[in-house]
Structure 1
């Protein structure tokens, strides 16, 4: 069971670091044509887009100036980690 938890934990950590890198790099004027940025978006967008759409639907049509989807995904990842830890140990 420890191997399964470690594998999932490694995957979740990779996703967290990819999202963190995307957030930090979004503060700099880097072209989206950059191969690294494109790869980062390909990895993170399938995870962030559904959360972003859910936030937009619950915001009553108001335009959000900040993208809170990375924060929500970090919270969800923490919840998944806790659930896995409880079930596997």
Structure 2
């Protein structure tokens, strides 16, 4: 069971960094620092968009419209942090006590 929790924590950490990379790339696109016509940059952007947009879309549905400010990545990062804390504080000790 500890192996499952460790894999879950690793997946949450990887998704954390995917969200950070997506936010940074969106800023680079917005300020015209990267060339959107570059095939390599476009493929990275498409991957990050496809990996994050389904989660961001669900968060945006429940959040109020703030104009040009998109806080959905921040909300998702806070959700990931909350899940990690629940795993560290409650699930790891419970699994260790149970001896699973």
Q: TM-score when scaled to structure 2? A: 0.74
Question: Per the alignment, do residues 25 and 49 of structure 1 end up closer, same or farther by CA in structure 2, a change over 3 Å counting?
Answer: same
Larger Rg: 2
Extract structure 1 runs of 4+ deviating beyond 6 A: none
How many correspondences in the alignment? 84
Aligned counterparts of 1:19 and 1:63: Cα–Cα separation in 2: 20
1:37 matched to 2:45? The reply is yes
1:23-63 residue CA offsets vs partner (Å, 9 max, x unmatched)? 011111342871111011111111111001211xxx2xx54
1:88 matched to 2:92? The reply is yes
1:70 matched to 2:73? The reply is yes
Q: TM-score when scaled to structure 1? A: 0.82
| Structure 2 equivalent of residue 8 of structure 1 | 8
Which structure 2 segments of 5+ residues have no match? 94-100
SS in 1 for 2:27: coil
Aligned counterparts of 1:64 and 1:15: Cα–Cα separation in 2: 26
